[in-house]
Structure 1
Amino acid sequence: MTGFEITGASAADMGLFRAWADEEGWNPGDSDRFAFMVADPAGFLVGRVDGEPVACISAVRYGAGFGFIGFYIARPAVRGQGYGIRLWNAGMERLDGRLVGLDGVVEQQANYRKSGFRPAWNSVRYEGAPGDEHGDGDGDGDGRGGGVGIVDAASLPFGQLAAYDRRFFPEARDAFLSAWVGLPGRTALAAVRDGRIEGLGVIRPCSGAFRIGPLYAATPEVAAALLRGLARHAPGGVVAVDVPDAHPRAAALFTGLGLVPTFEAARMYTGPAPELDLAGLYGVTSLELG
């Protein structure tokens, strides 16, 4: 491995990460990298051979005790030569002493087990244009019945959004969340009842189906209302949502609305799974950063 070095990623490298992930069929968001860098600017590593980028990984720190691994890619031409594992070890070293999570594609899950990761649940990607056969339970199709209103999330105090997000993620991630919901080209909607947030969803442009994540909701009816509202901002209404199978009502909702499974990854942790509000988690934020 003469000439191999590991460095922090530059802004240009982050563009490569996105392109490589797209080639892997992961359909990353067009602007995700801008929010990712805000989360932990030093959390993205690139492996180079004689100055040429050949592999990447993210090892992002959240708070004092949690970390997340993502973007683990070695270019096809260099696979099997040991570059990927050296980069993996560098990423894990950066997260030493923390509970670490990742979303592992099926073909890599055995390797992650060897590194001490254990599955907690699967994320199943559902894609399609949501239909109306189940209705949204409020009689008017937009989530405004029953005292629930669907509003622009940007109209709410950010502290309220951040506190709500903490129910579904192990650590505070305010800087990331602020960028994630506010980047140009995105739409963020919140469900509000009597001044309380009862749902949140963000849709973002991708090279394939527009991705929705996170999608949080107090009930399936609120989730359906948010899903339909967000889908109006996607070409042809076609969207993709990564749905935890630990929440069976979520999978039933998306199936009932006509979406079909197209991709699967396992949420895995190096220790006990953190306590999250899985009953309200209808779609994870990002497979790269949790």
Structure 2
Amino acid sequence: MTGFEIGGASAADMELLRGWAEAEGWNPGDSDRFAFAVADPQGFLLGRLDGDPVACVSAVRYGTSYGFIGFYIVRPDLRGRGYGLRVWNAATERLAGRLTGLDGVVEQQANYRKSGFRSAWTNIRFEGVPDAGGEDGAVRTVDAASLPFDRLAAYDRRFFPAPRDAFLSAWTALPGRTALAAVRDGRIEGLGVVRPCGAASRIGPLYAATPEVAAALVRGLAGYAPGGEVAVDAPDVNPAAATLLAGLGLSPSFETARMYTGPAPEVDTAGLYGVTSLELG
């Protein structure tokens, strides 16, 4: 592997990596890379062969004890030559000693198990235009930006195992995105973000106290998506999520497995209707 080097991805590199993810059919968000950068500025690694980008991976650190691997791609014309393993090893070394998670595509899950990862649940992507339904007067949704950010961050911590305030701030407020919160009696009972993508607009996270709250958020967020078409990565650890999305008229299209190097962290899976990002958890 003479001439192969691994280093941090630059801002310009992140646009290239987004194109690679698009080519894999992952439908990344148009502006996800800007939120990724603030989550962990050194968390994206790029392998170059004689200066040309050939492989990438993310190894993002959260807090002092948690990490997440994603964006694991090798350029198709150079697969099977060991470049992927090199960037993978660099990622695991960067997260050594931390509980580490990832969302693995089906064809890679056996390899992840060899590296010590174990499945916690399956994410099923549901896509389509949700039915209009009727108004649920008991569910009130507001612009999430109208709420104090510390309340949003505290609510997010119910569903994610580590603080990620900088990421969450960018993720919910980047141009072109819409974040809605469900509020009842002054309490946050749901949160959803829709972001533009090359294909269906992605909703994530999708948190809700009840299926009715989740339905109100999906319908509300779909109103900000071109043509109303959205996609949600629903974890089967919350069976109500798939039932709800199918009931809204969305169809399954893609599958990944949430995997961890140790016991799955304790989060509010009953309120988790859609994961935030397959790349960063």
The TM tier, using the shorter chain, reads over 0.9
**Partner of residue 140, structure 2:** 149
The secondary structure found in structure 2 opposite 1:273 is: coil
Within 5 Å, which residues of 2 pair with 1:1-290?
1-132=1-132, 135=133, 141=135, 143=136, 145-146=137-138, 148-290=139-281
Q: How big is the shift at 1:75?
A: 0.3
Q: How big is the shift at 1:17?
A: 1.0
Per-residue CA shift, 1:72-113, capped at 9, x if unaligned? Answer: 000011111111101000000000000000000000000000
Task: Provide the C-alpha distance between the structure 2 equivalents of 1:3 and 1:78, rounded to a whole number of angstroms.
Answer: 14
Task: Provide the C-alpha distance between the structure 2 equivalents of 1:181 and 1:272, rounded to a whole number of angstroms.
Answer: 29
Q: Which runs of 4+ in 1 moved over 6 A?
A: none
Task: Provide the C-alpha distance between the structure 2 equivalents of 1:254 and 1:76, rounded to a whole number of angstroms.
Answer: 33
Q: How big is the shift at 1:55?
A: 0.5
AA in 2 matched with 1:186 = R
Q: How big is the shift at 1:194?
A: 1.2
Task: Provide the C-alpha distance between the structure 1 equivalents of 2:116 and 2:151, rounded to a whole number of angstroms.
Answer: 36
Structure 1 stretches lacking a partner, 5+ long: none
Task: Provide the C-alpha distance between the structure 1 equivalents of 2:127 and 2:76, rounded to a whole number of angstroms.
Answer: 27
Per-residue CA shift, 1:200-228, capped at 9, x if unaligned? Answer: 00000000000000000000000000000
Task: Provide the C-alpha distance between the structure 2 equivalents of 1:82 and 1:225, rounded to a whole number of angstroms.
Answer: 47
Structure 2 stretches lacking a partner, 5+ long: none
With the length of structure 1 as denominator, give the TM-score of the two structures: 0.96
Per-residue CA shift, 1:152-191, capped at 9, x if unaligned? Answer: 0000000000000000000010000000000000000000
Q: How big is the shift at 1:149?
A: 1.5
Task: Provide the C-alpha distance between the structure 2 equivalents of 1:157 and 1:85, rounded to a whole number of angstroms.
Answer: 43
Task: Provide the C-alpha distance between the structure 2 equivalents of 1:254 and 1:8, rounded to a whole number of angstroms.
Answer: 38
Q: For this pair of structures, how many residues does the alignment match?
A: 281
AA in 1 matched with 2:131 = G
The secondary structure found in structure 1 opposite 2:48 is: strand
Task: Provide the C-alpha distance between the structure 2 equivalents of 1:49 and 1:251, rounded to a whole number of angstroms.
Answer: 43
AA in 2 matched with 1:111 = N
The secondary structure found in structure 2 opposite 1:26 is: coil
Q: In percent, how many aligned pairs have the same letter?
A: 77
Q: How big is the shift at 1:235?
A: 1.4
Task: Provide the C-alpha distance between the structure 2 equivalents of 1:51 and 1:236, rounded to a whole number of angstroms.
Answer: 41
With the length of structure 2 as denominator, give the TM-score of the two structures: 0.99
Task: Provide the C-alpha distance between the structure 2 equivalents of 1:76 and 1:188, rounded to a whole number of angstroms.
Answer: 36
Task: Provide the C-alpha distance between the structure 2 equivalents of 1:87 and 1:150, rounded to a whole number of angstroms.
Answer: 43
AA in 1 matched with 2:53 = P
AA in 2 matched with 1:112 = Y
